């Protein structure tokens, strides 16, 4: 496994981050434990979750699974850079959501209990809160840092100007501010190249791409369709039809390189200068093993250029749409 710093921080994290959203709703607890043990054995030290994960089992269920895994001991917690999130509504109480100082404090304490730990390494804002001033947000975070409950702050699903504003307000307070941004980013969805990535880089933040294979569309979907093992449905079926030619060219190029399509999509992300670690969310051990292969895929400039031809990206704004 390779490691890098999370943004401008001194924190070393693996080039792959284990996403846990499927633990509980899609993957039972024993299998989830096995995946986490295997990821740890492979050198993945960066785990991502959120207070709202759990779906039909109830919000908080996924954090509780991680907590029970940590409780087994064996230095599991010590070996893990633990990231979770705050913002999503956890109950019908009016203050059980978003980023008020009250909800940050309450949600953090509840996450700590479920995770059976005394601190969160990376506490992330799951979405921007347009109703709460940054003075309030940063004061609450400063208090949590002073209490030893969190070490670093990160954002998720922020626009470029949200990042710039958050960092400017943090600097006024001589506070570290954000060290990472978790965004939708993959070969099919490159919108953040216009403003989010430039804003993150200018502010010393690492990018953590979620849905790195666009819901499986970059994981060999056409081949699986042909052999009958999987067929896209719903919104994915619409996206597949819209991008069928490009996805076909992509799968052909993966075969030309002698690699699996999913490995190629993850490897491309790890070759992007702004990216710290793509977030993989395996439901099965096989999916974890597939993700791990991507670390060893090296792409030369010719391969990167070909992928840009298949899936064109964006220039930095405003040149992307103006002179």
Catalytic residues: 53
DSSP 8-class letter at 114: H
> Two tokens at 56?
């039909």
Cross-strand pairs, 152: 122
Q: Is 284 exposed, middle or buried (0-12, 13-18, 19+ CB in 10 A)?
A: middle
Contact at 8 Å (CB) between 218 and 184? Answer: no
The span from the CA of 157 to the CA of 142, in Å, is 22
Tokens representing 244? 């069928």
Structure tokens at 246: 């490009």
Inter-residue contact 71 to 116 (CB < 8 Å): yes
């Amino acid at each position: 496994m390779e490691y890098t710093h999370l943004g401008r921080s001194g924190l070393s994290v693996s080039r792959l981050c284990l996403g846990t959203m499927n633990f509980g709703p899609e993957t039972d607890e024993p299998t989830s434990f096995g995946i986490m043990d295997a990821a740890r054995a492979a050198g993945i030290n960066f785990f991502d979750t959120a207070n709202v994960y759990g779906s039909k089992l109830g919000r908080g269920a996924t954090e509780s699974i991680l907590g029970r895994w940590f409780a087994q001991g064996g230095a599991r917690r010590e070996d893990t850079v633990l990231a979770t999130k705050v913002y999503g509504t956890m109950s019908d109480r009016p203050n059980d959501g978003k980023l008020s100082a009250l909800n940050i404090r309450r949600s953090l304490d509840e996450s700590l209990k479920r995770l059976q730990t005394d601190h969160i390494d990376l506490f992330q804002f799951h979405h921007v809160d347009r109703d709460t001033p940054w003075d309030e947000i940063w004061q609450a975070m400063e208090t949590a840092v002073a209490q030893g409950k969190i070490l670093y702050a990160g954002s998720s699903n922020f626009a470029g100007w949200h990042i710039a504003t958050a960092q400017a307000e943090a600097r006024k307070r001589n506070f570290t501010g954000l060290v990472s941004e978790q965004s939708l980013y993959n070969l099919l969805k490159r919108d953040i190249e216009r403003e989010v990535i430039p804003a993150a880089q200018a502010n010393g933040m690492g990018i953590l791409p979620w849905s790195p294979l666009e819901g499986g569309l970059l994981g060999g979907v056409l081949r699986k369709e042909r052999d009958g093992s999987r067929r896209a449905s719903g919104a994915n079926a619409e996206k597949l039809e819209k991008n069928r030619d490009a996805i076909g060219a992509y799968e052909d190029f993966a075969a030309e390189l002698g690699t699996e399509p999913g490995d190629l999509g993850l490897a491309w992300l790890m070759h992007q200068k702004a990216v710290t670690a793509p977030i993989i969310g395996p439901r099965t051990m096989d999916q974890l093993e597939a993700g791990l292969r991507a670390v060893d895929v090296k792409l030369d400039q010719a391969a990167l250029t070909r992928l840009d031809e298949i899936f064109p990206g964006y220039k930095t704004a405003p040149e992307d749409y103006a002179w």
